[in-house]
């Protein structure tokens, strides 16, 4: 039996355990900043399958190492989730972790604790095979991604000095191989006016009216944004508007617009800000919010809400290794594509320039959606992919 067949056989043999691992994670609500209990659960699970180098860093990320080669491969899953939204939209209890009809059900099963469960099984397989190749494989279970993409990896690289040579992200790809994504940023426009009594609005300057005119200019700007053949078009939309006035019988003297901006290849924070400034009157300003929420360990690692675009070329050895891994396991070429949403790749590749690809269980259309569920078959295939990948890298990347 060749290595790929041996690993795939093991992944199938551990299918039930992988599903149960994921079910246990789903049953532990783990919103951003509230991940302590699920991190403990995952750490115990990694120890139970034979991992001996298991630690939690200063932010709260769990780092598990298998192998001691001179090169470093990081396989990453964020383990925080968004909330459930309107429970009336769910056909089952969001935190049930129920296993039925060939799926594990519940919030986080796709985005993205399914990848985390498959990583634990992959670590088990690598330990059983006594992996001793050129790579130290770091399985990272990271926190607060849903709140602030990549901040966990900025902390790992800049404070913990965990700097991998290569990165594999396990966000959902529907078992495709992904090699990039648009970047994103958030912006806040503050508009000032002058208050007066609502019975005579002509005496004041209504900040909402000023903001509304800016919002219409932003709508026009969206239509003019550039596009890329692979990553697609940049986008821009107003996602929130809030105002303030002395009373509900007064003209508002302050209004704020929150913007969601997706950045295609070639666009930057400064170019996006310049486009917005061109839409503003002198009474309005634009800024990028600063993330400064403490982690569950009480650590604050401030970061602007700017998350760079990234892309790895199709002929990069890392991409080719991913293709070869898939072909060895499943006998055909994978679908190579990109994410529509944002991932920790904004830090590993976008900011720090570390070659990064993605392969994950579950369909990304289920991310943040009601009735989230992941196929057990995907968990099996992902487990096998993560376990075989270091062996393929040993033969393909110098």
Burial class (CB in 10 A: 0-12, 13-18, 19+), 56: middle
Q: What is the pLDDT of residues 85-102, one digit of tens each?
A: 999 999 999 999 999 999
**Residue 54 tokens, joined:** 């298991």
Burial class (CB in 10 A: 0-12, 13-18, 19+), 60: buried
Half-sphere exposure of 46 (CA within 13 A, CB side): 26
Q: 3-13 and 317-330 helices cross at what angle (nearest 10)?
A: 70
Residues 17, 394 contacting (CB under 8 angstroms)? no
Q: Is 111 one of the catalytic residues?
A: no
**Residue 346 tokens, joined:** 């904004």
**Residue 41 tokens, joined:** 């659960």
What is the greatest pairwise CA distance in the chain?
85
- Label residue 3 by pLDDT band (50, 70, 90): very high
DSSP 81: B
- Label residue 285 by pLDDT band (50, 70, 90): very high
Classify the C-alpha dihedral 85-91-97-101 as positive or negative: negative
pLDDT at 1 over 80: no
pLDDT at 397 over 70: no
Residue 220, H or E segment? helix 207-223
Q: How many residues does the chain have?
A: 398
User: The pTM is what?
Assistant: 0.95
At 129 the pLDDT is 96
The Cα 94–Cα 85 span in angstroms is 10
User: What are the chain's domains?
Assistant: 3-182+309-396 (3.40.630.10), 183-291 (3.30.70.360)
Q: What is the pLDDT of residues 212-246, one digit of tens each?
A: 999 999 999 999 999 999 999 999 999 999 999 99
| Section 146-156 average pLDDT | 97
The Cα 35–Cα 143 span in angstroms is 7
166-169/71-78 β-pairing:
parallel
- Label residue 281 by pLDDT band (50, 70, 90): confident
Burial 281-312 (b: 16+ CB within 10 A, else e): eeebebebeebeeebbbeeebebebbbbbbbb
- Label residue 283 by pLDDT band (50, 70, 90): confident
DSSP 335: P
Q: Tell me which of 35, 80, 111, 267 is the catalytic residue.
A: 80
Classify the C-alpha dihedral 118-329-361-160 as positive or negative: positive
The Cα 131–Cα 289 span in angstroms is 44
The Cα 355–Cα 250 span in angstroms is 55
| Section 254-281 average pLDDT | 96
Task: Calculate what percentage of the chain has a pLDDT beyond 70.
Answer: 99
Q: Tell me which of 113, 145, 146, 275 is the catalytic residue.
A: 145
Residues 331, 319 contacting (CB under 8 angstroms)? no
Q: Is 260 one of the catalytic residues?
A: no
């Amino acid at each position: 039996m060749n290595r790929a067949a041996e690993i795939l056989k093991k992944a199938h043999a551990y299918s039930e355990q992988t599903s149960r691992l994921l079910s246990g994670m789903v049953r532990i609500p783990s919103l951003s900043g509230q991940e302590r209990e699920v991190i403990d659960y995952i750490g115990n699970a990694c120890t139970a399958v034979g991992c001996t180098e298991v630690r939690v860093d200063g932010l709260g990320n769990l780092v598990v190492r298998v192998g001691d080669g001179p090169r470093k491969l990081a396989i990453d899953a964020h383990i925080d989730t968004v909330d459930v939204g309107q429970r009336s939209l769910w056909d089952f209890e969001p935190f049930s972790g129920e296993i039925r009809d060939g799926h594990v059900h519940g919030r986080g099963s796709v985005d993205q604790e399914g990848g985390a469960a498959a990583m634990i099984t992959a670590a088990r397989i690598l330990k059983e095979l006594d992996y001793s190749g050129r790579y130290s494989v770091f399985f990272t279970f990271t926190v607060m991604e849903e709140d602030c993409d990549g901040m966990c990896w900025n902390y790992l690289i800049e404070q913990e000095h965990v700097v991998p040579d290569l990165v594999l992200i396990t966000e959902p790809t529907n078992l495709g191989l992904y090699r990039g994504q648009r970047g994103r940023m958030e912006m806040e426009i503050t508009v000032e006016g002058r208050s007066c009594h609502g019975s005579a609005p002509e005496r004041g300057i209504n900040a909402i009216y000023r903001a509304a005119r800016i919002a219409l200019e932003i709508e026009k700007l969206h239509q003019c944004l550039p596009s890329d053949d692979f990553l697609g078009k940049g986008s821009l939309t107003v996602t929130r508007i809030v105002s303030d006035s002395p009373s509900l019988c007064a003209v508002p003297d302050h209004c704020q617009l929150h913007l969601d901006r997706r950045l295609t290849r070639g666009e930057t924070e400064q170019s996006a800000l310049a486009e917005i400034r061109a839409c503003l009157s002198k009474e309005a300003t634009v800024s990028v919010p600063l993330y400064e929420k403490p982690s569950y360990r009480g650590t604050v690692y401030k970061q602007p809400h700017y998350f760079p675009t990234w892309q790895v070329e199709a002929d990069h050895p890392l991409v080719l290794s991913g293709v070869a891994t898939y072909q060895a396991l499943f006998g055909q070429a994978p679908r190579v594509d990109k994410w529509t949403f944002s991932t920790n790749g904004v830090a590993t590749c976008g900011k720090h320039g570390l070659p990064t690809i993605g392969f994950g269980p579950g369909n990304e259309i289920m991310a943040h959606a009601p009735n989230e569920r992941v196929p057990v078959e995907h968990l099996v295939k992902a487990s096998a992919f993560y376990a075989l990948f270091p062996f393929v890298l040993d033969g393909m990347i110098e």
